[in-house]
A and B are shown apart, each in its own frame.
Chain A
Amino acid sequence: MARELWKGNIAIAEAAVRAGLEAYFGYPITPQTELLEYLAMRMPELGRVFVQAESELGAINMVYGAACTGVRVMTSSSSPGISLMMEGLSYIAGTEVPMVLVDVMRGGPGLGNIAPAQGDYNQIVHGGGHGDYRPIVLAPSNIQEAIDLTMLAFDLAEAYRAIAVVLLDGSLGQMMEPAEMPPMRPLKTTYPDWAVRGAIGRERRVLSSIYLDPPLEEEANLRILRRWQQIEANEVRYKGYYLEDARFVVVGFGTAGRVALSAVRAARAEGIPVGLFRPITVSPFPDQVLRQLADQVEGFLVVEMNTGQMLEDVLRAIEGHAPVEFFARLGGVMPLPEEVLDEIKRMTTAPLTMDGHPRERWLQRMLQPA
């Protein structure tokens, strides 16, 4: 199939359709609204379900109901809307039904703004909803990857009865790029043995997240944890660039990783031995690969569009085996490749330290510009 020009939000919507999305429920919020608008046209023309909900609370609970029937379901939103969905996400996790969520992140906290940011990392990766659960989180850095990861998200959600999140920022949602759309997959015709579809000729089924007896809730928690361990063992994904001979490594996900790649290429052109490590699954986080890299390189530079939420995961992963520096732009301000290049040059020339916290050093530089 030919490469065509796709806008991020619409590419994700069409990819979901081709992955077999049978029901979509959403609510308008910038910068993800085109996804909702596209499916408002696309789903009915295919005879599939589209409902514009009264709120994100409504949308996520419609998803919850539809997910209980065993079909492929999705919703999408942006940061403030995702906050409203946290209740439903926790219930969906507790009921162990699969769903796909798209979060096109914007500046925050609060109403924030509609510019690109990565401030939802902790909310999405480290929970957000109450209780013990972890979603699978896929972070694309270009439109083709957004398409491919959306398709993958449905497969993973279904395989592990889990929530799979496609986590991107507003710039990826809004930008257009050439990409190849995979062919349409057939809709499923059989449904899992837990699906609630009416007790026709069988015993009744109940889907719930309630286990009033604590030992039963403990058992449910352990079941969810064991499934997570399988996900950790099988589904870690990342991409490395120029890592073979790299003495320094930049770490960034999504758009921050993409900007960092431009900087790494510019640095390579100047002969600086630097590479890029871009987590594709930010959950499960590629701990082991980073830990191994830490023994091979002289230092890391973590680049994010938040105040260092993934930075904490990097520090945890490398267990103090290499010095780490940090650079970020916040609140909807995009980091520029030139800024990241300056940080790479600083890291590769100035002495690195294991003392203190990288966020503190970055903050000092931010507050006292040279």
Chain B
Amino acid sequence: MTLAEMETLVYARPASLTEMPTHYCPGCTHGVAHRLIAEVIDEMNLRERTIGVASVGCSVFAYNYFDFDWVQAPHGRAPAMATGVKRVLPDRVVITYQGDGDMASIGMGEVVHAAARGENITVFFINNANYGMTGGQMAPTTLPGQKTTTSPRGRDVETQGYPVRAAELIATLEGASYVVRRSLHDPKNIRLAKKAIRLALETQVRGLGFSLVELLSICPTNWGMTPVQSLKWLEEHMIPYFPLGDYKIHPAVAEIKV
């Protein structure tokens, strides 16, 4: 038996990802999130029908890594831009990929109203508790006491307020059909995150309205930790403040079997 005959392909790059190496820092969970989304798009055979809306932040170049059509939104405006694309092309699958600074701060108005309108789009919300691209400033999701470059003594809630729990907030809106929070800190949770991504896209494909998957993520570079320390910090500090769970499952979405 030759070596070639013994080879069995058990793992490959999803067709929805390009061959380009990412610019993300070592250990960053953006790569995991990208791969999960690409795998689900492959599995659902949506690659040619999908249009991504990139945001501003570390994921500004997401369009380089996914092998389907993309547009690039101004900071925070991805849900509005996605609305424009989706309304013109209702049979396409329109996704946004946004960080916490982008979606939960400057873009809070756009995402809330896209959800309120029940726009049939899917938002992937990467929450790593700081502004990564600009070098680790305080985000709306920065935890009380967490040190960032603009909360150098730790976030003081008396003067800097409290973190925004985006999934819980969006879940209050009638137009939102599927709103969950998952985490990317270990294999079990990564599998659960993939299932949520699948359900979110199923929600859209079936025309059931707005879907949002919040993914708790790490930022080793700006947190000043190793990737392993970061994963542990996420589990010990972020999850207590941002509990994982299903915040809105429309009855029609609950019936989806995948």
Contacts and interface: CB of A to CB of B under 8 A. Distances in A.
Interface residues of B, number: 35
A23 B88 contact: yes
B43 interface: no
Contact of B71 (A53, A201, A207): A207
A198 B87 contact: no
A49 B74 CA distance: 22
A91 B109 CA distance: 19
B69 interface: yes
A67 interface: yes
A54 B113 contact: yes
A63 B67 CA distance: 24
B70 A196 contact: yes
Interface in A63-78: 63-69, 71, 73
Contacts of B87: 23, 49, 51, 62, 66
Given A55-B109, A87-B74, A197 B84 contact: no
B68 A61 contact: no
B189 to A, nearest CB: 30
A66 B48 CA distance: 18
A204 B77 contact: no
B80 A58 contact: yes
Contact of A88 (B47, B77, B83): B77
A55 B86 CA distance: 18
Interface in B55-85: 60, 63-64, 67-74, 77, 80-85
B167 interface: no
Interface residues of A, number: 39
Interface string A101-139: 000000000000000000000000000000000000000
A209 B75 CA distance: 12
A209 B72 contact: yes
Nearest to A208: B72
Interface in B78-109: 80-89, 92, 109
A209 B64 CA distance: 14
B88 A198 contact: no
Contacts of B74: 61, 64, 87-88, 91
B80 A197 contact: no
Interface string A39-52: 00000000001010
Contacts of A345: none
B70 A207 contact: yes
B110 interface: yes
A196 B109 contact: no
A370 interface: no
A204 B83 contact: no
A22 B84 CA distance: 11
A206 interface: yes
6 contacts: A54-B113, A64-B84, A65-B80, A196-B69, A198-B49, A198-B92
Q: Which 5 A-B pairs have the closest CB atoms?
A: A65-B84, A208-B72, A61-B80, A65-B81, A54-B113
Interface of B: 47-51, 53-54, 60, 63-64, 67-74, 77, 80-89, 92, 109-110, 112-113, 117
